Amino acid sequence: MLSGKKVIIIGDRDGIPGPAIEECIKTAGAEIVFTATECFV
């Protein structure tokens, strides 16, 4: 589903952080163009 797609990742500190999502997305063959983790509190 994500193969060949470009992906922007916004993670959440108290949910799933950016680097953890990045590890999953990589295995699906997508190109990660930006990763960040945000804190809303």
Partner 1 sequence: MAYPVIKGARYLLVHVPNMLINNGTTQTVERKKNPDSSYLKNIYKHIRSFEDAVAYPPNQVYIGNISPDELAKMESPWYENLVHGSSRFGRLGEIVPEDEFYAWMKVSDAFELVFLEKGFTDELKLKLKGNELFSENDISKLGSGFEIYEIEKLVRENSAEPLNMGEKLVGCIKRAHDIDVNLSAGVILENTAAKASAAIVLRKLIKDLGIEAESIDYIIETSEESCGDMNQRGGGNFAKAIGEIGGCINATGCDIRGFCAGPAHGLINAAALVQSGIFKNVVVLGGGAVAKLGMNGKDHVAKGLPVLEDMLGGFAVLVSENDGKNPIIRTDLIGKHNVGSGSSPQAVMQAIVADPLEKGGLKIGDIDKYSVEMQIPEITVPAGAGDVPQANYKMIAALAVKKGELDRRDLLDFARKHGMPGFAPTQGHIPSGVPFIGFAREWLLEDRIKRAMIIGKGSLFLGRMTNLFDGVSFILEQNKGKGEEKKQPGKEQIKFIMAEAFRELADNLLQEAGNWNGK
Residue 13 as a binder of partner 1 (CB under 8 A): the answer is: yes
Residue 28 as a binder of partner 1 (CB under 8 A): the answer is: no
Residue 4 Cβ, how far from partner 1 at the closest point, in Å? 25
Kindly tell me which residue out of 1, 3, 4, 14 binds partner 1, with binding defined by CB under 8 A.
14
How far apart, in whole angstroms, are the C-alpha atoms of residue 21 and residue 31?
13
In terms of DSSP H, where are the helices of the chain?
A: 18-27
Residue placing its CB nearer to partner 1 in the complex, 21 or 30: 21
